[in-house]
Every structure is written in C-alpha cells, then in structure tokens.
Amino acid sequence: MAKQYETVIGLEVHVELATRTKIFCGCSTRFGAKPNTQTCPVCAGFPGALPVLNKKVLEYALSAGLALNCEVNRYSRFDRKNYFYPDNPQNYQISQLYLPICHDGWVEIDTGAGKKKIRIHEIHMEEDAGKLIHDEWGECSLVDFNRSGVPLIEIVSEPDMRSADEVIAYLEKLRDILQYLKVSDCKLQEGSMRADVNLSVREVGSETFGVRTEMKNLNSFKAIAHAVEGERERQIELLEEGKAVLQETRRWDENKESSRPMRSKEDAKDYRYFPDPDLPPVTVSEEWLNKLRESRPMLREERKQVFAEQYGLTEYDASVLTASVHMAALFEETAKRCGNGRRAAAWLMGEAMRLMKEDGLEPSELSLSPENLARLIRLEEEGRITPHSAKRVFAAMVREGADPDHYIEENGLAVVRDEAALEEAVRQVLAANPGSVEEFRGGKEKVFSFLMGQVMRQMKGKADAGQVREMLQAHLGQTEKKL
C-alpha cells in the first residue's frame, strides 16, 4: 500500500505598511512614481546619512502584533543584515533579528474541519529594498530606490498549516485583520503583501519534520495554492524514488506551474547580523500599549455582527460587504446616514459590484461618497425618483462623481407630482383610446397596463407609477359610471 504523506507548511509574510513616509527618512512611499524621484541621501545609502525611525511604523507593527495576539518586546532593537546586492544601497538591510518587536501570537482560521489556531512565531520590522530593472537591450541593470526604505513587517508563522486551503485561509485572515487595522492595503499584485512558503512533507504519523524548501515569487493566492500543491508532489516524488529533498530556496514560475532552484549565492549565507549602532533601542511603554488596545478599530468578525444586528442584514450579506474594508466602511457610513441598511446593502451588492466588475475596479478604487448614496436612497424612499432613473443616477455618481440632486435636476429625472398634469394626461389618453377603454370595460384587464404605459409615456416617464395606477383606475371607474 502506498505511503500516506502529510504536508507541513509555515509562512513568512511580508507586509508593506501604509505609512505616508518611509521607515527611516521623510521620503514618500507612494506607489508608481517615476524612478528615483522619492529618494534622499538616507534611503539611497549615501555616505554619512543616518536612519531615524518613523514612529508610525512602530505603532502599526504594535497594532498588528496586538491584533494577532502576540507578546510585545517592550525593549526591542534593530539589527543589520549584511549582504551585497545592488537593490540594497547600503549593502545591509536594517531588520530585526535578536529582539523583534512581537513574538508568540496566533490567529484562528476556518478550515473544512472547523476552527484551527495557527501560531505566529514573531513579527519584525524592516526596510524594503529598491527595485532592479534589467535592461536587456542596453545590457545593463538599473536601480530604482523609490521602494528602498518603505516599511515592512514580516510575520513568521509556526509550521502549523497542512494544506493549500489552510494557507489561503491564513493569508485571507491576515489580510482581513491588517486591512481592518488600516496598517496595510495588502495588495498582492502591487507587492504590498508577499508570502514565502516553507514546505516539507513527512509520512503521516511521523513526529519529526522532513527537509523543507522555501518557495519565493508568489504573486497571487492562486499561485500560492498551485505552488503548495506542486511542491508537495515534487517532494513526495523525490522521496518515493528514494532521493533526498535538498534544503534550498526555489522560485515559482506561475506560467509553467513549476519551480526551480534559485541561483545559489557563491558563499554560504552568513548575514553577520549585529545591532545597528545608528538606531537606539526601541522601548514601548505600557501606557502606549493600552492606548493602542483601546483605540483598536473593529475587525471583520465584529463588524459582521454589528451589520447583522444593527442594520438587519443577513449573515451572507454581512459577510459579502465585510470582505473588503472599503466596502464595509462605505456601507456603514451610508447606512448611518440614511437609516436604511438593507437598501444600502442592496445598492452596494447589486449595482456597485456590477459597475466595479464592468470597469475592473477594486473596492478601494470605488469613488462613491456615502453622503451621495444615502441621499439617493432617501430620494428613492420619498418616491421622488423612479427605480429606473435611480440606476442612472447611481452610475453617474460612481463614474462621474455626480451629486444626485444636481444630476436629477440637470437631467429632468424628478418624479412629477403635479396632479393636474397627471389628470390631464389620463384624460387625453382615455379620450385618444376609446377602443381600449371599451375592451377594458368588456373585461380585458390586460388593456390596463397598455393604458398605464401610455400615461407614463405622456408623462415622459417621470410620473410615480402608483399614482398613475390610482388615477387611471379612478378615471376608468368614473367613465363607467358616466356611461
């Protein structure tokens, strides 16, 4: 009988913190600027320049640590990790090895078999490196230091995961927490969340771990899931053939759905870590920690519960709306303003998501103000706009940032409440269609909707349907009596 194998997975997750400025200087962290326009002597590693810690970075790292149930090192330090590479202007990276800011935490994930705790070994702060751009035509490499010095935290898990599903569940959980804390936007495509997968396999029942590999270059959840499956199979195959798994770093190629070993550094890695003498030790006071604990924003689970209880949403709706912190905030702000949570949810889960899909937008890119949406819902409730027009207004709000009142006025979309005008329209329609009136009287009720349509057309679609129905019925009755 074939051997049964178990996959053992631990993750190193790098998260770019959403600070406005870099970790050790005042340069902007904005993504996508022209190369080397967001640099200074500090982040470009010039001689004589010195790092000064951005306090916001420490605050974000602590917030993350507290939300991930970590212990905080009240006395922490930065260390230099020495290695030569051109994306790293000092040829050392300022990181934390000996006394990281947080350690020994956990998160709970949902798995097919119920809830499971994944332990967190440590969280440390560090600076990101620059970006190398290889110019194949010019036979040279160029360096962009805009990313150099962008703050990162690295969240190192214990080897507690056993499948790709668990890995994805863990990453989604981390992303939810960090997004709700507003410490990172966690965009895998832009590299603001990056995961390295440490994986080994062992026979079911074995107490010892197998030899593990580290997989890099995983840019999406899909790639991570593929890499976990691929690496598991590769290692099992090796073991089945009686070969050894080598401890190495491998690079995943999502297009080929396979990995290959990364070019090994010429010498064995010895980073010669030592405390950075340019940065004094970091001390964290109990008062500060308490303040952070008290001011922690609601996380997804709590938010879901509030949405269900306070705004009467179904669990499903609450779950969909809280999948993105931006959507959740938009919903809550709107619901607070208009007092109609269900209507707000209907708009966001219906039209908003349809338009986002059409335009290829992320929730964070949706420019819709809760004030405008609340106003639209109010106008709808008051019957001052027809559902058909409301959709037009909504699209204009999303795509053009239109103000609902202005847009309705400019485009003449307001429901006409003028009874005299409506009565006149009804009279004209009935007078112009004596045959239809005859048929209706003869019991052909279908004709009523035809007459409704005629009145609406006469009113250019701006009449309230209920009002039209009422008046039409009244007039048809009257004609009957008269006749």
Residue numbers of the site for another protein (CB under 8 A)? 41, 44-53, 80, 82, 84, 86, 89-92, 143, 266, 270, 272-274, 277-280
CB nearer another protein, residue 82 or residue 111: 82
**Nearest approach, Cβ of 19 to another protein (angstroms)?**
17
Q: Where does 377-479 show beta strands of DSSP type E?
A: none
Nearer to another protein, 86 or 297 (CB): 86
Closer of 27 and 463 to another protein (Cβ) = 27
Residue 146 Cβ vs another protein, minimum distance, rounded to whole Å: 15
Count Cβ atoms below 10 Å from residue 309 Cβ, excluding itself: 10
Tally Cβ neighbours within 10 Å of residue 44.
Answer: 18
Of 217, 218, 192, 219, give the one whose Cα is nearest residue 60: 192
User: Considering the complex, what minimum distance in angstroms separates the CB of residue 26 from another protein?
Assistant: 10
Nearer to another protein, 86 or 453 (CB): 86
Q: What are the C-alpha distances in Å from 339 to residues 223, 375, 448? A: 42, 11, 36
**Cβ-based nearer residue to another protein, 46 or 75:** 46
DSSP letters of 121-172? Answer: EEEEEEEPP-EEEEETTTTEEEEEGGGTT-EEEEEEE-S-B-SHHHHHHHHH
CB of 177 to another protein, least distance (A): 30
CA atoms in the 13 A half-sphere facing the CB of 268: 1
Residue 76 beta carbon to another protein: minimum distance, rounded to whole angstroms: 14
109 beta partners: 116
Nearer to another protein, 12 or 87 (CB): 87
CA distances from 6 to 111, 245, 475 (A): 16, 15, 78
- Please give the structure tokens belonging to residue 85: 């590479």
- Residue 303: name the closest of 284, 319, 280 by CA: 319
- Nearer CB in complex with another protein: 132/432: 132
Least distance (Å) between residue 200 CB and another protein: 23
Could you tell me the smallest distance in angstroms from the CB atom of residue 363 to another protein? 38
Residue with tokens 């605050």: 59
